[in-house]
Amino acid sequence: MTRFLPRAMIDSPDIGRHWPVVVIGGGQAGLSTSYCLQQQGIAHIVLEKHRVGHAWRNLRWDSFCLVTPNWQCRLPGFPYDGDDPDGFMPRDEIVAYLERYAAFVDPPLREGVTVTQVAEKEGGGFTVETSAGTATADQVVLAVNGYHVPKIPRIAERLPDTVEQLHSVDYRNPEQLAAGEVMVIGTGQSGCQIAEDLHLAGRRVHLSVGSAPRAPRQYRGRDSVDWLERMGTYDVTVAEHPDPEYKLRHKANHYMTGRDGGREIDLRRFALEGMQLYGRVAGIGQTGRMDFEANLAANLDSADATYCKIRDSIDQYIADQGIDAPPEEPYQPVWQPPFEPEQLDLATSDITSVIWATGFAGDFSWVHAPVFDGNAEPMHRRGVTAVPGLYFLGLPWLNTWGSGRFAAVGVDAEYLVARIAERVEGPAMCRNAS
């Protein structure tokens, strides 16, 4: 087993030496890996492009909060340590939690180091080129999630210059937008929560509704996450799930919110309160006219079908287990679209801002190893790739629903570190890279 290096040994600006393990990424995935490596006594370094908590601190809007209850925050050796386990941490508390975890782990961490290339070495191992020097490693963990490049469709180029455009990653609060009405495109978790943020601030919101499902918040006396945890839903692996692997890893998350103590997001209720809903954007004309698919009613019905399916599964669990839980009335939609909006002329409307809540793409172009499919997406089994010593961690559905979240990233880290330990031979001490 290799010796763990104290932090003093990596304080020099030069990291150009050999490391038994290089962990790329200093978020919850990288920190979890470091904790598990330390438990095994395996020498390593953690390289973080920015600083711990960067994505939570700098890439979330002001009112952002967790969608899952705080008790699901269970990083290795460090479960949620606050006084509101059933609450939902807002952005700044999430950052503080992660900073406390970093202090607890005390990893051999280098912040402000950009990894520009990871490449296989002839004969085994890897070369890791960084902004602070070139290192070599026996094994490398890519703990950098898969949300790297904001996706905005090319049709955005057709919008009038008078309309401000931004991706959801750049949205902070309603005050940053020009006066006027706002179009939000996309109804995953980000799109729905940003639309709600604007709606609660009194802004007139237009929302293009996609096919993302929704979920109940509280049901029959408990948060639905609590019920699903008890039911073992979050323990189902990719291999066991009925959906195909590719579809599962690209499936939109169920929308709801943890805001103000947690509640459901019902787009139909928003419509009753004045929000204008549309189907998917089908195209944008040269004059700025936005065309919509005639699928608003179908998308709302599909989201509700998932919502009801989750309630039904909880009902069945309660009945099977003989649990005394208060009954609830069957779901009834509060609004139906009176028609399918087909067009909207942005040039003559009062819309001054468009927010593209259209997701992200991964960018692993800096990883030079045959571990990607024809769509440039990572190929792995529970984070282990076909290239010996190269691993992924923190990706959505790496193994289970919680793999990319605080809930189960630690479980995945423990599994990968066990695989890393199997490959460690003798006291491989750090040495100068060659």
Q: How far apart are CA 23 and CA 20, in angstroms?
A: 10
- pLDDT score of 410: 96
Q: How far apart are CA 252 and CA 358, in angstroms?
A: 10
> What is the mean predicted confidence (pLDDT) over 271-296?
95
Quote the distance between the C-alpha of residue 97 and its chain's center: 17
Q: Count Cβ atoms within 10 A of the Cβ of residue 395 and give its class: 0-12 exposed, 13-18 middle, 19 or more buried.
A: buried
- pLDDT score of 207: 98
Percent of the chain with pLDDT over 90: 86
> What is the mean predicted confidence (pLDDT) over 365-369?
97
- Enumerate helices (H) and strands (E) in the chain, giving the number of each: 9, 23
Count of beta carbons in the 10 Å neighbourhood of residue 326: 8
Residue 415 DSSP one-character state: H
Structural domains in the chain plus CATH codes? 7-148+362-432 (3.50.50.60), 151-356 (3.50.50.60)
pLDDT in tens, 173-219: 999 999 999 999 999 999 999 999 999 999 999 999 999 999 999 99
- Residue ranges of alpha helices (H) inside 84-211 are 91-105, 189-200
Whole-structure pTM value: 0.93
Kindly indicate the confidence band of residue 427, based on its pLDDT and cuts at 50, 70 and 90: low
- pLDDT score of 269: 98
pLDDT in tens, 291-303: 999 999 999 999 9
Count of beta carbons in the 10 Å neighbourhood of residue 370: 10
Kindly indicate the confidence band of residue 14, based on its pLDDT and cuts at 50, 70 and 90: low
Residue 257 clears pLDDT 70, i.e. is over it: yes
Contact (Cβ atoms closer than 8 angstroms) between residue 184 and residue 358: no
> What is the mean predicted confidence (pLDDT) over 93-112?
96
Q: How far apart are CA 22 and CA 369, in angstroms?
A: 16
> What is the mean predicted confidence (pLDDT) over 220-238?
96
Kindly indicate the confidence band of residue 6, based on its pLDDT and cuts at 50, 70 and 90: very low
Q: How far apart are CA 287 and CA 161, in angstroms?
A: 11
Contact (Cβ atoms closer than 8 angstroms) between residue 158 and residue 383: no
Q: How far apart are CA 264 and CA 333, in angstroms?
A: 13
- pLDDT score of 426: 59
pLDDT in tens, 42-87: 999 999 999 999 999 999 999 999 999 999 999 999 999 999 999 9
pLDDT in tens, 385-418: 999 999 999 999 999 999 989 999 999 999 999 9
pLDDT in tens, 318-362: 999 999 999 999 999 999 999 999 999 988 899 999 999 999 988
Q: Which two tokens stand for residue 339?
A: 């028609």
Cα-Cα-Cα-Cα torsion 100, 105, 109, 114, nearest 10 degrees, comes to -70
Total residues found in the chain within this entry: 434
pLDDT in tens, 22-49: 999 999 999 999 999 999 999 999 999 9
- pLDDT score of 4: 43
- Helix, strand, coil percent content, the chain, rounded in steps of 5: 30, 25, 45
Contact (Cβ atoms closer than 8 angstroms) between residue 424 and residue 42: yes
Residue labelled with tokens 């003093």: 8
Kindly indicate the confidence band of residue 2, based on its pLDDT and cuts at 50, 70 and 90: very low
> What is the mean predicted confidence (pLDDT) over 221-246?
93
